[in-house]
Amino acid sequence: MFQRFTDKTRRALFFARYEAGQAGSKSIMEWHVLLGLAREDRPMMGQIAPAEDGKAAAGAVRSEVEKRFPAVGQKIDTSVDLPLSPECSRGLALAEEAADRLGHRGITPAHILLGLMELPGSRALEILRAVGAEEQAARTALEKFASGNPPAPGSKAAWRAAAPERSESWVEGRTTITETERRFGGRAVTVVERWTESEDGKRVTYTHEIRGPGKTERHETEFEL
């Protein structure tokens, strides 16, 4: 399944692991994944939660999560393994089913959110409702996003990401590698992401490396499945 995740989905899960650690949680819960999705795909959140723009929608989701699920302990370093909760694992499986149902090869953030919304007693759906999302309209918008045909945003919600100068992906054994180059002020910044699945399929290692002029930063974390 992880081989089907798009780059945005992988980054969202990396952010979910970060959010769990910041909250002192010993496992990655569905609301941590929701925060990861809100951080990675603000345009999507802006279409399903009524707000001035995607940033405001993401902020509303964060405020609701923090109100319902405050930190439970001290922050946990990203080097510590954190497993997905059973609900999260089921949500990812439902996301794959959503992608299959829609005939999509890649699993995008929209598929992930559709999967979370399908969970019995979905906490993600409760949070979205609390910030003003209407369930059926949200599902319709997410399916359009997943199909690569998002609904036209209003003028205040218009958002454009800087197009990469170069982006390529390839597979080496059990590792999927994506390398993207962007330019800021004429200077090139390269981001290299690696996802490696263990031989028994029970663990995924994610490495995020940023190479800029005169400086390289590298972060690594592991997910137990």
Query: Domain check: are 173 and 98 in the same one?
Result: no
Which pLDDT does position 150 carry in this prediction? 56
Which pLDDT does position 176 carry in this prediction? 84
Model's pTM, two decimal places? 0.70
Contact 222, 206 (CB under 8 A): yes
Number of domains in the chain: 2
Query: Domain check: are 139 and 178 in the same one?
Result: no
Locate the DSSP E strands across 129-186.
Answer: 166-172, 175-184
- Is the pLDDT at 157 greater than 60, yes or no? no
- Is the pLDDT at 163 greater than 50, yes or no? no
End-of-domain residue from the set 155, 176, 206: 155
- Is the pLDDT at 153 greater than 70, yes or no? no
Calpha distance 98→198 (Å, rounded): 25
Which pLDDT does position 186 carry in this prediction? 73
Query: Domain check: are 172 and 91 in the same one?
Result: no
Calpha distance 100→98 (Å, rounded): 5
End-of-domain residue from the set 134, 155, 176: 155
Query: Domain check: are 46 and 126 in the same one?
Result: yes
Share of the chain above pLDDT 70, in %: 91
Q: Kindly state whether residue 198 falls inside one of the protein's structural domains.
A: yes
Q: Kindly state whether residue 191 falls inside one of the protein's structural domains.
A: yes
- Is the pLDDT at 161 greater than 50, yes or no? no
Q: Which of 47-51, 70-74, 91-95 has the highest mean pLDDT?
A: 91-95
Domain that holds residue 67: 2-155
Q: Kindly state whether residue 105 falls inside one of the protein's structural domains.
A: yes
Alpha carbon 155 to chain centroid, angstroms: 25
**Closest CA relative to residue 169, chosen from 137, 192, 144, 142:** 192
What band does 48 get if pLDDT is binned at 50, 70 and 90? confident
What band does 20 get if pLDDT is binned at 50, 70 and 90? very high
